[in-house]
Amino acid sequence: MAVFRLGQTWDPLRDLEHEVDRLLQGVNLTFHGVRTGRQYPAVNLHESANEYILTSELPATAPEDLELTISSGVLTMSGQRRDEGEIPEDRFRRQERPRGPWQRSLPVPDRIQEDQLSADFHNGVLVVRLPKAPQEEPRQIPISSD
Amino acid sequence: MSPDQPEPSQDLVKAHRIDDSKSTASERYVFTPPIDIFETADGLVLRADLPGVSLESLELQIQENRLTLFGRVETLLPDDAVPLHREFEIGDFLRSFILSDEVDYERITARLSHGVLEVELPRAAQAEPRRIQVNAE
């Protein structure tokens, strides 16, 4: 996928586009973030009656490499896409999978019980459950009169 | 060896879609998973990202010289969950590859871990010269 998208490409620009692509590939930036303009990893957020559920597809990240923290309403997830063994670059016939460290911070909905957060990570899919804080009871304010 | 055929064959996609229409009313997405292929001393190794696919929901088969992987992804959400924000769709994974004769089909092995399928495609041993017995009448 090209980095620059111009309405009318003419050859010198296309060469530049290819050159920039090639350079970016060489630097091995996580192409999900830089090259497609989307942050890695992609997340979905769902709401059920008593919790919010955040899901994310994180293949090739081992559970021991995954870190989740929550602080002041911001959930930060970080990890590393890693495979077994070092494969020299010249051994690859095809390389489509991103690799390397990643991090993403997300604001979580209000009124979450941050200390009750739980996470489950199976088959490369992360499911984070954010229980809603119980509705506060309406509080009667006593009125005194003389 | 030229093992890769990037696009899944249309027939396969259709076949799976027909299956789906029998079991569930809603249409499912079918994605082409990203892969790596690299050479080792013993042959080739293929890795595919298949998040959400379990051992039970993965089908890996060889027919003729075509290796096909199909992984079914189940949603992990409760029925009453309402989407608030969506950046990716849930779907199944399908991709097929043409294997060359250099691969020893009998010794292909595969394993699945952390949402990544790894298929080892060992190189076939060099064909031994075979002596043909000539019988005299």
Q: How many residues does chain B have?
A: 137
User: What pLDDT score does B8 carry?
Assistant: 44
Domain span at residue B48 reads: 4-19+27-75+91-122
Between B106 and A16, the more confident residue is: B106
Other beta carbons within 10 angstroms of residue A31's beta carbon come to 17
Q: How many Å apart are CA A114 and CA A96, to the nearest integer? A: 37
CB-nearest to A95 from B36, B83, B87 is B36
Four-residue CA torsion sign, B104, B55, A86, A33: positive
Comparing A26-30, A41-45, B87-91, B98-102, which segment has the lowest mean pLDDT?
Answer: A26-30
Four-residue CA torsion sign, B2, B3, B7, B10: positive
Q: How many Å apart are CA A127 and CA A54, to the nearest integer? A: 6
Q: How many Å apart are CA B18 and CA A116, to the nearest integer? A: 43
User: What pLDDT score does A77 carry?
Assistant: 96
User: What pLDDT score does A12 carry?
Assistant: 56
Inspect the interface and report whether the beta carbons of B82 and A46 lie closer than 8 Å.
yes
Inspect the interface and report whether the beta carbons of B47 and A97 lie closer than 8 Å.
yes
CB of B37 closer than 8 Å to CB of A92: yes
Interface residue ranges in chain B relative to chain A, Cβ cutoff 8 Å = 3-4, 34-40, 44, 47, 49-54, 76-78, 80-88, 112, 114-116
Inspect the interface and report whether the beta carbons of B38 and A97 lie closer than 8 Å.
no
CB of A108 closer than 8 Å to CB of A52: yes
Inspect the interface and report whether the beta carbons of B115 and A125 lie closer than 8 Å.
yes
B53-61: which pairs have CB atoms within 8 A and are 24 or more residues apart? Answer: B53/A123, B53/B93, B53/B112, B53/B115, B53/B117, B54/A122, B54/A123, B54/B112, B55/B112, B58/B112, B58/B117, B60/B110, B60/B117, B60/B119
Other beta carbons within 10 angstroms of residue B84's beta carbon come to 13
Residue B81 lies in a domain: no
Interface residue ranges in chain A relative to chain B, Cβ cutoff 8 Å = 38, 42-49, 52-53, 55, 57-63, 83, 87, 91-98, 109, 122-125, 127
Strand order of the β-sheet with A67-71 is A67-71, A74-81, A100-107
Nearest CA in chain B to A65: B114
Domain count across chain B:
1
pTM over 0.80: no
Q: How many Å apart are CA A14 and CA A45, to the nearest integer? A: 38
Residue B83 lies in a domain: no
Inspect the interface and report whether the beta carbons of B38 and A92 lie closer than 8 Å.
yes
Taking CB atoms and an 8 Å cut-off, how many pairs form between chains A and B?
107
User: What pLDDT score does A37 carry?
Assistant: 59
- Looking at the predicted structure, is the pLDDT value of residue A33 above 60? no
Residue A64: pLDDT band with limits 50, 70, 90: very high
Inspect the interface and report whether the beta carbons of A53 and B77 lie closer than 8 Å.
yes
Residue B127 lies in a domain: no
Q: Give the CATH number for residue B70.
A: 2.60.40.790
Residue B64 lies in a domain: yes
CB-nearest to B114 from A61, A92, A98 is A61
Residue B131 lies in a domain: no
What's the mean pLDDT in A32-57? Answer: 82
**What is the percent of chain A with per-residue pLDDT over 90, rounded to a whole number?**
49
Q: What are the residue boundaries of the structural domains of chain A, listed by start?
A: 9-38, 40-83+101-134
Residue B98, beta-bridge partner list: B66
Taking alpha carbons only, the member of A45, A61, A58 closest to residue A130 is A45
Inspect the interface and report whether the beta carbons of A93 and B35 lie closer than 8 Å.
no
Q: What is the pLDDT of residues A86-145, one digit of tens each?
A: 889 899 999 999 989 999 999 988 888 988 999 999 999 999 999 998 877 788 888 988
Other beta carbons within 10 angstroms of residue A10's beta carbon come to 8
Residue B101 lies in a domain: yes
pLDDT values of chain B reduced to their tens digit, one per residue, 137 residues: 444 444 444 444 444 444 444 444 457 899 999 999 999 999 999 999 999 999 999 999 999 899 999 999 988 898 899 999 999 999 999 999 999 888 999 999 999 999 999 999 999 887 567 788 888 87
Q: Where are the alpha helices (DSSP H) in chain B?
A: 10-23
Residue B31, beta-bridge partner list: B93
ipTM for the assembly: 0.73
> A40-83+101-134, which class in CATH?
mainly beta
Inspect the interface and report whether the beta carbons of B115 and A60 lie closer than 8 Å.
yes
Instruction: Find chain A residues with C-beta within 8 A of B35's C-beta.
Output: 94, 96-97
Residue B117 lies in a domain: yes
Residue A23: pLDDT band with limits 50, 70, 90: low
